[in-house]
């Protein structure tokens, strides 16, 4: 068994499997999807089951609410939603829905931001306006989770939360008049912000803006979905 410390590989492998299928032919990406699935199923399996911070203490099907590091949580469940969609793993999809309910009903800010104490979740409804919270990368991880839940289910409620997060939690971390970005995004601006941090947000924010065109619409055998009302042509 193996559990990566920072959960992003699962989502990357799922995306890569889709790309390989498109370029090399159906089924060619299966091995990457299987690896992503295996990594998710390994979560919480390796003793001693004490790493609460990295969501390693419980299997995904046993987790009921967001906890630990907010960025890691968002990436973990964005990958889980993608893998559940591509493999048809119903228990994994159910686990994603459990933590989604816990997130939007008690651990997410009005802006779509996540992480109420220095990138870490606190108890439900513990959402202070100040201090180190709402890190840009955590808000981006939430956006990825919402988008993948929308693709998994076709339900508009996930696109609604993604829209809130995109325009507030994510774009709120970018300056309009100069090339500056923010690491933490507290609701109360009197507590100060850190500008142009040489951290992950520097690459994550433009990555998300470049992906935005692929999220405006989605399709399924039932039709076309308009997920974001953004001026565009399809």
Q: DSSP 3-state assignment of 25?
A: coil
Q: How many CA atoms lie within 13 A of 44 on its CB side?
A: 13
Which pTM was predicted? 0.94
Largest CA distance in the chain: 54
pLDDT tens for each residue of the chain, 234 residues long: 788 889 999 999 999 999 999 999 999 999 999 999 999 999 999 888 889 999 999 999 999 999 999 999 999 999 999 999 999 999 999 999 999 999 999 999 999 999 998 889 999 999 998 867 888 899 999 999 999 999 999 999 999 999 999 999 998 888 788 777 888 888 887 765 555 565 677 788 888 889 899 889 998 888 999 999 999 988
Buried b (16+ CB within 10 A) or exposed e, 135-165: bbbbbbbbbbbbbbbbbbbeeeebbebbbbb
Q: How many CB atoms lie within 10 A of CB 80?
A: 30
DSSP-based three-state secondary structure for 160: helix
* Residue count of the chain: 234
């Amino acid at each position: 068994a193996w559990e990566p410390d920072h959960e992003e590989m699962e989502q990357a492998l799922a995306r890569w499997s889709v790309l390989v299928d498109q370029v090399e032919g159906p089924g060619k990406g299966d091995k990457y999807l299987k690896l992503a699935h295996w990594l998710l199923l390994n979560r919480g399996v390796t003793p001693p089951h004490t790493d609460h911070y990295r969501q390693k203490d419980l299997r995904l099907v046993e987790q009921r609410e967001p906890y630990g590091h907010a960025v890691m949580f968002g990436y973990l469940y964005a990958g889980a939603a993608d893998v559940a969609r591509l493999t048809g793993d119903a228990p994994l999809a159910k686990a994603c829905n459990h933590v989604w309910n816990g997130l939007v009903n008690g651990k997410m800010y009005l802006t779509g931001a996540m992480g109420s104490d220095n990138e870490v979740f606190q108890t439900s409804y513990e959402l202070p306006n100040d201090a180190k919270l709402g890190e840009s990368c955590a808000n981006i991880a939430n956006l990825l989770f919402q988008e993948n839940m929308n693709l998994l289910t076709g339900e508009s409620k996930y696109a609604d939360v993604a829209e809130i997060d995109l325009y507030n939690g994510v774009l709120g971390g970018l300056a309009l008049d100069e090339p500056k970005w923010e690491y933490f995004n507290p609701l109360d601006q009197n507590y100060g912000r850190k500008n142009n941090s040489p951290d992950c947000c520097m690459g994550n924010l433009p990555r998300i803006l470049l992906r935005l065109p692929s999220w405006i619409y989605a399709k399924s055998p039932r039709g076309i979905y308009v997920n974001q009302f953004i001026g565009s042509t399809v």
